[in-house]
C-alpha cells in the first residue's frame, strides 16, 4: 500500500513516459539496424572450436606463429613470423627453404599476373610492383644467414645449424609485404586486398630436396604441405578480414588454422558479412553488398553440406567465402574461397564458382596434390563434383545443360599436339588451353569413368580417396588405388587413354 502511494508521488506524466518509451524503442531499433548494416559496430560470431580429430591430425605438423598488422594506405603488411619445424626426413638439414612468392610480383618479367593474356585485366592502371622485404631472420635467438636461391626471389634459404632427423628448430622472420595494385589473388583492387601465398611458407619437401619451382603464369603452380597457423592481426578501424583460419578471439583479433596449406587473407573496409551454420562449420561470407554476402553464405552452406554428403565431412570449424577483384571466377585456399567480384552478382555464375571453389576444400585443401605436375587431380575432380552438385540441387535438366555447355565441347575442338589432361602445368601455352584440357576434358574423363564403373562407384571411390589421403599430398597412384578398391577392377588403361594420350578433336 505505501509503496503504491510513494510510486504515485513520483509518477512521470503519461505523455512524457510514452515519449520516453518510444525514444528507447527507436534507439534499440537503430542499434539493431546498425549492427546488421555496419561491420565496424560488430564482428561476425566466433566459430566453434576445432574438432578433436582435427587437433590430432595437426599435432605432428609444422607450426607458424604470426603477429601482423596491415597498413592499407601504404598497401603494406608487416609481420613477425616464427616457424617451428621438425625434421621428418631421413637426412640432416643445414637450411630451411621458404616460398616467398610475393617477390615474383616485383617485376613485369616475373609477375604471373603480367602475362600477355592477364596484364590488362590485372594491372588496370599499369604495372605496380609488389614484393617482400626481409628485415631479419633468426634461428632461435641468433641472427641467421639468408639468401634467395632464384633470380625472382621466390625461394628463400635460411641457413641453420645441422638439424638431425627428428630434431626441431624455430626460425623467426620479420618482414614487410608490399601489396601490388593488381586485380589478382595477390594484390589490391577495388578497395579489397588479397594475400594468397603471400606470407613466407616452408617449401614442400621431396626426397632429399625442396620443391622450388617458379611461379608460372598459368594454373595454380603450387605444392603445399599442411601446417598449423596462429595469426594475431591488427587492422585499422572499419576493416574486416576473411581468413584461412577460425577466429578464436577478437581482442586481439586472433586466428587458429589447423592443418591448412598456407594462410590466406582478404581484407577490406567495404566488406559486409553474412553467416550460416552447417553442421560443425560456421560459414562467413564477405562481400560489398548485403545481398551478395547473404547469397554467397547460403550457396556456400548448401555446397558444404552437399559435398560433405558425397566425399566426407568438411573438417574445419570455419569456412570463409570472400569477394575480391580477380580475373578468375574464384580461387581456392584452405577454409577460404575467394570469389570474383564480377560473378558475385550473377546467380548462375556465382553458384558455379562457389560450388567449384568449395569442392576444392576436398580436392586441394583436405587432400593435397602436386598442382605443378598433376593439376588434373584437383581441377578435373572439382568440375566433376560441380556437375554432381548441380544434379542434386538443380535437377537433371540443369545437369545436362552444364555437361553439354561446360564439359562436352572440350572433346570436339582441336588442341595443338603435345598436351594431354595429365600434362604438367608448365607445358600449357595459355589459360584457355589449360582450362579446356585439364578442367573440361578432365571432367569428361571423370564422367566416362563414372559411367564405366556404374552405380555410384566413382563417388564411393572419391570418398575413400579423401578418407585415406586427407591432410597429405596424394598422387595418381593413390587415386587409382581408390578406384580399384571401390570399383573392384583396375582402371589404369582407362586413365592412360585420357591422361596420357593425345586426343584429336572430334571424339
> Least distance in Å: CB of 380 to Zn ion?
9
> Least distance in Å: CB of 375 to Zn ion?
9
**Window of 153-161, 296-304, 379-387, 417-425 that interacts with Zn ion by CB under 5 A:** 379-387
Closest CA to 83 of 245, 207, 222, 228: 228
> Least distance in Å: CB of 154 to Zn ion?
22
**Window of 185-193, 260-268, 302-310, 372-380 that interacts with Zn ion by CB under 5 A:** 372-380
Taking the least distance from each CB to Zn ion, the nearer of 77 and 439 is 439
Taking the least distance from each CB to Zn ion, the nearer of 225 and 379 is 379
Taking the least distance from each CB to Zn ion, the nearer of 255 and 384 is 384
Taking the least distance from each CB to Zn ion, the nearer of 94 and 426 is 426
Closest CA to 423 of 373, 491, 378, 381: 373
> Least distance in Å: CB of 57 to Zn ion?
24
What 3-state DSSP class applies to 268? strand
Taking the least distance from each CB to Zn ion, the nearer of 144 and 437 is 437
Asked, as a colleague might, if the bond just before 252 is cis with ω within 30 of 0, I would say yes
Taking the least distance from each CB to Zn ion, the nearer of 58 and 443 is 443
On the 0-12 / 13-18 / 19+ scale of CB atoms within 10 A, 500 is: exposed
**Window of 189-197, 315-323, 382-390, 406-414 that interacts with Zn ion by CB under 5 A:** 382-390
**Window of 43-51, 305-313, 337-345, 375-383 that interacts with Zn ion by CB under 5 A:** 375-383
Q: How far is CA 373 from the centre of its chain?
A: 20
Taking the least distance from each CB to Zn ion, the nearer of 187 and 219 is 219
Binding mask 329-368 for Zn ion (x = CB under 5 A): ----------------------------------------
Judge whether 471 and 259 are in contact, CB under 8 Å: yes
Binding mask 158-197 for Zn ion (x = CB under 5 A): ----------------------------------------
Taking the least distance from each CB to Zn ion, the nearer of 134 and 425 is 425
Judge whether 352 and 329 are in contact, CB under 8 Å: yes
Taking the least distance from each CB to Zn ion, the nearer of 137 and 382 is 382
> Least distance in Å: CB of 378 to Zn ion?
7
> Least distance in Å: CB of 360 to Zn ion?
6
> Least distance in Å: CB of 406 to Zn ion?
13
Taking the least distance from each CB to Zn ion, the nearer of 101 and 363 is 363
Distance CA 179, CA 106 (A): 10
> Least distance in Å: CB of 358 to Zn ion?
10
Strand spans (E) along 190-252: 192-195, 201-202, 205-206, 209-210, 227-234, 240-243, 246-250
> Least distance in Å: CB of 439 to Zn ion?
7
**Window of 80-88, 159-167, 380-388, 480-488 that interacts with Zn ion by CB under 5 A:** 380-388
Judge whether 300 and 336 are in contact, CB under 8 Å: no
User: Which own/partner contact pairs does 233-236 have at CB distance under 8 Å and 24+ positions apart?
Assistant: 233/68, 233/69, 233/70, 233/265, 234/68, 234/69, 234/70, 235/69, 235/70, 235/267, 236/70, 236/71, 236/72, 236/269
What 3-state DSSP class applies to 462? helix
User: Number of residues in contact with Zn ion, rule: CB under 5 A?
Assistant: 2
Tell me, what DSSP letter sits at residue 144?
-
Distance CA 421, CA 432 (A): 13
**Window of 52-60, 228-236, 373-381, 488-496 that interacts with Zn ion by CB under 5 A:** 373-381
**DSSP per residue over 403-423, as a string?**
IIIIIGGGGTS---TT--TT-
> Least distance in Å: CB of 104 to Zn ion?
20
Distance CA 264, CA 76 (A): 15
Distances (CA, A) of 85 to 50, 61, 133, 172, 312: 22, 8, 22, 11, 30
> Least distance in Å: CB of 426 to Zn ion?
18
Closest CA to 297 of 56, 101, 44: 44
**Window of 179-187, 210-218, 231-239, 378-386 that interacts with Zn ion by CB under 5 A:** 378-386
> Least distance in Å: CB of 79 to Zn ion?
28
Taking the least distance from each CB to Zn ion, the nearer of 175 and 465 is 465
Q: Which residues lie below 8 Å from residue 382, measured CB to CB, with a gap of 6+?
A: 356, 359, 360, 363, 364, 439
**Window of 143-151, 376-384, 389-397, 491-499 that interacts with Zn ion by CB under 5 A:** 376-384
Taking the least distance from each CB to Zn ion, the nearer of 240 and 407 is 407
**DSSP per residue over 332-389, as a string?**
EETTEEEEEHHHHT-HHHHHHHHHHHHHTTTBTTTBEE-TTT-THHHHHHHHHHHHHH
Give the residues lining the site for Zn ion (CB under 5 A).
379, 382
Amino acid at each position: 500500500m505505501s509503496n503504491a502511494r510513494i510510486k504515485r508521488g513520483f509518477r512521470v506524466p503519461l505523455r512524457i513516459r510514452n515519449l520516453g518509451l518510444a525514444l528507447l524503442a527507436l534507439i534499440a531499433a537503430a542499434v539493431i539496424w546498425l549492427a546488421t548494416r555496419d561491420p565496424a559496430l560488430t564482428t561476425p560470431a566466433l566459430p566453434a572450436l576445432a574438432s578433436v580429430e582435427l587437433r590430432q591430425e595437426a599435432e605432428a605438423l609444422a607450426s607458424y606463429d604470426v603477429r601482423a598488422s596491415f597498413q592499407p594506405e601504404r598497401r603494406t603488411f608487416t609481420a613477425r613470423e616464427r616457424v617451428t619445424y621438425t625434421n621428418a626426413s631421413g637426412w640432416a638439414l643445414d637450411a630451411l627453404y621458404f616460398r616467398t612468392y610475393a617477390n615474383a610480383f616485383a617485376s613485369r618479367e616475373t609477375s604471373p599476373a603480367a602475362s600477355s593474356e592477364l596484364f590488362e585485366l590485372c594491372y588496370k592502371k599499369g604495372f605496380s610492383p609488389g614484393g617482400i622485404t626481409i628485415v631479419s631472420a633468426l634461428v632461435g635467438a641468433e641472427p641467421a644467414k639468408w639468401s634467395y636461391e632464384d633470380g625472382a626471389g621466390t625461394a628463400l634459404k635460411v641457413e641453420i645449424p645441422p638439424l638431425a632427423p627428428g630434431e626441431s628448430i624455430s626460425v623467426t622472420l620479420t618482414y614487410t609485404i608490399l601489396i601490388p595494385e593488381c586485380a589478382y589473388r595477390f594484390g589490391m583492387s577495388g578497395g579489397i586486398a588479397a594475400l594468397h601465398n603471400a606470407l613466407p611458407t616452408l617449401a614442400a619437401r621431396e626426397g632429399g630436396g625442396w620443391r622450388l619451382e617458379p611461379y608460372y603464369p598459368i594454373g595454380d603452380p603450387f605444392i603445399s604441405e599442411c601446417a598449423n597457423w596462429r595469426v594475431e592481426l591488427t587492422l585499422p578501424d572499419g576493416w574486416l578480414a576473411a581468413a584461412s583460419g577460425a577466429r578464436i578471439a577478437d581482442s586481439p583479433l586472433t586466428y587458429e588454422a589447423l592443418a591448412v596449406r598456407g594462410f590466406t587473407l582478404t581484407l577490406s573496409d567495404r566488406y559486409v558479412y553474412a553467416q550460416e551454420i552447417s553442421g560443425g562449420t560456421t560459414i562467413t561470407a564477405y562481400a560489398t553488398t548485403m545481398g551478395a554476402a547473404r547469397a554467397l553464405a547460403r550457396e556456400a552452406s548448401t555446397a558444404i553440406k552437399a559435398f560433405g554428403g558425397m566425399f566426407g565431412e568438411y573438417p574445419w570449424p570455419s569456412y570463409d567465402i570472400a569477394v575480391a577483384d580477380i580475373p578468375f571466377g574464384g580461387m581456392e585456399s584452405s577454409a577460404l574461397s575467394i570469389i570474383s567480384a564480377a560473378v558475385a552478382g550473377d546467380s548462375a555464375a556465382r553458384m558455379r564458382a562457389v560450388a567449384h571453389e568449395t569442392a576444392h576444400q576436398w580436392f586441394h585443401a583436405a587432400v593435397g596434390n602436386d598442382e605443378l605436375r598433376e593439376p588434373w587431380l584437383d581441377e578435373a575432380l572439382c568440375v566433376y563434383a560441380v556437375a554432381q552438385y548441380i544434379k542434386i540441387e538443380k535437377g537433371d535438366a540443369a545437369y545436362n545443360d552444364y555437361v553439354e555447355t561446360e564439359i562436352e565441347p572440350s572433346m570436339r575442338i582441336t588442341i595443338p599436339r603435345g598436351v594431354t589432361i595429365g600434362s604438367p602445368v608448365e607445358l600449357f601455352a595459355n589459360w584457355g588451353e589449360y582450362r579446356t584440357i585439364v578442367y573440361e576434358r578432365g571432367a569428361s574423363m571423370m564422367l566416362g569413368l563414372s559411367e564405366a564403373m556404374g552405380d555410384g562407384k566413382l563417388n564411393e571411390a572419391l570418398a575413400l580417396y579423401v578418407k585415406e589421403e586427407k591432410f597429405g599430398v596424394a598422387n595418381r597412384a593413390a587415386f587409382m588405388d581408390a578406384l580399384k578398391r571401390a570399383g573392384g577392377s583396375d582402371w589404369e588403361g582407362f586413365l592412360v587413354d585420357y591422361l596420357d594420350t593425345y586426343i584429336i578433336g572430334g571424339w
